[in-house]
Amino acid sequence: MDLVNRFLRYVRIDTQSAEEAGVTPSTPGQMEFVKALRTELEAMGLEEITLDDHGYLFATLPANTTRTVPTIGFIAHVDTSPDITGKDVNPRIVENYNGTDITLSAEDHIILSTADSPELLKYVGDDLIVTDGHTLLGADDKAGIAEIISAIAYLQAHPEIEHGKIRIGFNPDEEIGLGAHKFDVKLFGCNWAYTMDGGEVGELEYENFNAAAARITIKGRNVHPGYAKGKMINSMRIASEFIQMLPQRENPESTDGYEGFYHIVGLKGEVEQTTVSLIIRDHSRDIFNKRKELLQNCIMTLNSKYGANTATVDITDQYANMREVIEPMMYVIDIACEAMREAGVTPKIKPIRGGTDGAQLSFKGLPCPNIFAGGVNFHSRYEFVSIQSMQKAMMTIVKIAELVAKS
């Protein structure tokens, strides 16, 4: 039960990240957590332990074989989502789940129901860790941290399992998109790594969205509404016109799988100026670039209709599809798939409809696909994780280490 005890201990530390902080880590709780983890790793006897001022914690399990084996890594993030509080998390275990609704808080009538979360029915017979309905759980990604450390402890306890040098890394601020920004890939020193940050059992991801953020600024002209004919230009109406120019079925609520989208995330305006914030996502780089071109064309159309410089757009690329980096070395995926099968898991290769630290790390020179950590309903009070799923994730790590040493 070391795995479970670790996880229950970890989730009680408040490590929510904060988007507007402007420092790394963005919250003091994250540094508190990595310092506690450093103490734990020191007690385990790991080597090459480093913790920098930004909250990046690295450590090494030395090889126990004399053969030449690639150095691999396992990575997880210490922060939890700002979407819902992670303070005073009060987890409990539902043993041998029977397939019915789970009351999280009787007092406040908060129910984890099979109607709203049909995924629950996949876990009948498992032992589930749930919240008390008032916080998130933190399986994203403290389940990954617990699995990595428990796998290292398992390898230490089973020296008969040959493995090469293994590096582990825990980083802050993944949930606000900054987890890989100050990650020292050279210091980490791996041939490749895996983030343990996926969802349900079997998930293996090496494709993610190409991503950009766009900010459209629309200038208007305000005059007294009683005398506005032919004079007023209402920037909010033009903003509405711009939104209608976007493909109406290419939004998050209408797309799935490999389908990309435009997503309006912010709208702020008055007659004289309105700003529209949106994100652009697509797995295909060609289609992604065409999406950005469409925005430029929309702006040109508005300016030709309402006058030059009425509308401007600022587009910032955020991250790219790591498939470009992973495909030339698909053995990294093959090893993970075989490890899952040996751990009793059926691999489910799927694209990430989002981003991951692994995507940014891949383009920084550390190929880094993503493996399941077992959690469900991330970023919500209905988050839960199966203990059996966590055990399978832990054993997948062990099996990867074993397979790499044999290859």
Query: What positions carry a catalytic annotation?
Result: 79, 174
From the number of C-beta atoms within 10 Å of its C-beta (0-12, 13-18, 19+), residue 181 rates as middle
Which tokens hold the place of 279?
């994100």
Task: Write the DSSP string, 253-294.
Answer: GG--TT--EEEEEEEEE-SSEEEEEEEEEESSHHHHHHHHHH
What burial class does residue 153 get, using C-beta atoms within 10 Å of its C-beta: 0-12 exposed, 13-18 middle, 19+ buried?
Answer: middle
Q: What three-state secondary structure class fits 15?
A: coil
Token duo for residue 57: 């914690």
Query: Strand 203-205 to strand 370-372: parallel, antiparallel, or no bridges (unpaired)?
Result: antiparallel
CA nearest 326: which of 353, 354, 355, 361? 361
For the beta carbon of residue 354, count every other beta carbon within 10 angstroms. 12
Written as six digits, the tokens of 153 are 């402890």
Task: Enumerate the H helices of 56-138 as residue ranges.
Answer: none
The C-alpha torsion from 398 through 4 and 26 to 174, rounded to 10°, is 40
Which residue, 239, 244, 263, 245, is CA-closest to 253? Answer: 263
Give how far Cα 232 sits from Cα of 26, 225, 237, 282, 298, Å. Answer: 44, 8, 11, 38, 21
Question: Which residues contact residue 369 at a Cβ distance below 8 angstroms, ignoring those fewer than 6 apart?
Answer: 194, 195, 204, 205, 206, 322, 326, 332, 333, 336, 358
